[in-house]
Amino acid sequence: AQKVTQAQTEISVVEKEDVTLDCVYETRDTTYYLFWYKQPPSGELVFLIRRNSFDEQNEISGRYSWNFQKSTSSFNFTITASQVVDSAVYFCALSEVWNAGNMLTFGGGTRLMVKP
């Protein structure tokens, strides 16, 4: 069965620091998708990125970057020069391709607190 582990339950940084959120996954499938979602204090879930298992290229979007390494089953998320508005809970999730309906298995989430 698939599993997603986010070992860091809470991280606190000071504004402008870089921070990396770890995500480790388990799956028996060779084809799958990985996701990151952000949940700000207002409670909604905001999609950040989707990556398929055949694409190990790192991705950068502004201050956000993602490092996907199949060899270590990890999909880590880095925020560069963090800002107070980055304070949120971040979820990593996995979806196996055979899985009817794109169902997601979520990690437990990492709460990021960025202090001014």
Partner 1 sequence: NAGVTQTPKFQVLKTGQSMTLQCAQDMNHEYMSWYRQDPGMGLRLIHYSVGAGITDQGEVPNGYNVSRSTTEDFPLRLLSAAPSQTSVYFCASSARGREQFFGPGTRLTVL
Contact positions toward partner 1, by CB under 8 A? 4, 9, 35, 37, 43-45, 47, 50, 91, 97, 100-109
Distance CA 12, CA 47 (A): 22
Q: How far is the CB of 20 from partner 1 (least distance, A)?
A: 19
In whole angstroms, the minimum distance from the beta carbon of 30 to partner 1 comes to: 16
CB 24 within 8 A of CB 8: no
The least CB distance from residue 89 to partner 1, in Å, is 9
C-beta closer to partner 1: residue 18 or 29:
29
Could you tell me if residue 72 is left (phi over 0), alpha (psi between -120 and 50 degrees) or otherwise beta?
alpha
Q: What CA–CA distance (Å, rounded) separates 38 from 58?
A: 19
Nearer to partner 1, 20 or 40 (CB): 40
Smallest separation (angstroms) from partner 1 to the CB of 105: 8
Q: Which residue number, 50 or 70, has a Cβ lying nearer to partner 1?
A: 50
